[in-house]
Amino acid sequence: MRNFCVRARIKYIDQIDITEKRILIRVDFNVPLDENRKVADDTRIQRSLPTIKYALDNNAKIILMSHLDSPKGKFKPELTLLPAAEHLSKIIGQEVVMAPDCIGPEVEKLVSEMQPKDILLLENLRFHSEEEKGDKDFGSKLAGLADVYIDDAFGVAHRSHASNVTIVDFFQKFGGGFLMRDEIEYFRKVIGNPERPVIAIIGGAKVSGKLNFLENLIRKVDKIIIGGGMAFTFLKAQGCDVGESLVEDDLIETARRIIDEGRKEKKLYLPVDCVAADKFHPQAATKITPVQKIPSGWMGLDIGPATEKLFSEVLNDAKTIVWNGPMGVFEMDAFSAGTRAMVKMVAESPALTIVGGGDTDVAIHKWNATDKISYISTGGGAFIEILEGRPLPSIKALDQNSRKTNG
């Protein structure tokens, strides 16, 4: 399962002289906020702390930058990063100054006044449309704020944006943070020389977002489990009448091709029963039914107990497990049992376990299994693309510039 990230040559923050330097760190503070505009889940902020604390220990002047949601290049006060600054201040025990913007004279003045160990958080990068366009001038302006650049935002590693790709060209000293290092090293364990059997668990709603992912995995892993809403496209491709279950009819032939590929080596496993409902609603009438016998007008919203048993047997001899996507609509209690059972199976497995994707991460936290998973990736799209075998733009930028700088 070798790919670009296995071969990438990247320096990390502890291999770079940052003492008393202005260090610009691309973090991923794209965190959920509650109704009071407070941070509702600080996982991504917590995961940035080792890199930030290392910079503090080296008396660096720390400039953090991130995006929040998708303001489409316009200032939206409800998408300010101020809540992240306030939250980081509390957990790190010192003031985090919030900049009024991410570029411009006011920001440059704040940076010029910084002392060693000061922390400045730039305002939402995506308030500028140039960020997502990968604009060179915008990247240059960001780079002008600092002496050293560190990318610690794996969650956007699959995006070719100014703050994680274009910007690298303007630095002589650059590298990855500790979060980026951990992400790459764990994926190297999976795609470099994994301990086998390697079993992939793929769930979620749609096949379309994971098509290349599935087609690559089916050739690389030893077994693949498919659950969640996407399973019904595959079941329909096998001739099952799946009622009103979610199906992407334009991908039926593709699903059939993947099924045929998986059958060659008996490595593809689909649900055999499901929790069906008469409507998509928390209080819907439900019944457990074989996937071939979903009542007309009903829909499958979770895997059933027989499928849980089947999937448990499939995972029994796993040495490496990769999981992306829930087994059902676990946000509704009536359809949460399958995902809860999968959390338990993966958490109790002695295998190396790597979990990625926002919904999967939420499920792991919901059922208190975070300390039983080998590694929880901060990437959703990046998680999928790295396992597809695609070079991630931000990692490629660090690698290529490192080779140019070091010969």
> Would the pLDDT of 406 be above 70?
no
Q: Which of 206, 256, 319, 344 is catalytic?
A: 206
> Would the pLDDT of 110 be above 70?
yes
Using pLDDT thresholds of 50, 70 and 90, give the confidence band for residue 9.
confident
- The mean pLDDT value of the chain amounts to 92
Q: Any idea which of 204-208, 212-216, 242-246 has the lowest mean pLDDT?
A: 212-216
pLDDT of residue 3: 54
pLDDT of residue 114: 98
Q: Is 403 a catalytic residue?
A: no
pLDDT of residue 22: 98
* Higher-scoring residue by pLDDT: 340, 217: 340
* Higher-scoring residue by pLDDT: 114, 356: 114
Q: Which of 21, 22, 26, 44 is catalytic?
A: 44
- The predicted model gives 396-400 an average pLDDT of 90
Q: Is 206 a catalytic residue?
A: yes
pLDDT of residue 234: 95
* Higher-scoring residue by pLDDT: 209, 369: 369
Could you report the per-residue pLDDT of 136-193, keeping only the tens digit for each?
999 999 999 999 999 999 999 999 999 999 999 999 999 999 999 999 988 888 877 8
Domains of the chain: residue spans and CATH: 4-180+391-406 (3.40.50.1260), 196-350 (3.40.50.1260)
pLDDT of residue 403: 63
Q: Is 390 a catalytic residue?
A: no
> Would the pLDDT of 354 be above 70?
yes
Using pLDDT thresholds of 50, 70 and 90, give the confidence band for residue 2.
very low
* CA–CA separation, 194 and 223 (whole Å): 14
- The predicted model gives 316-326 an average pLDDT of 95
* Higher-scoring residue by pLDDT: 45, 207: 45
- The predicted model gives 274-290 an average pLDDT of 97
Could you report the per-residue pLDDT of 216-233, keeping only the tens digit for each?
888 889 999 999 999 999
Q: Is 22 a catalytic residue?
A: no
Proportion of the chain above pLDDT 90, given as a percent: 78
Q: Which of 133, 358, 366, 372 is catalytic?
A: 358
pLDDT of residue 1: 42
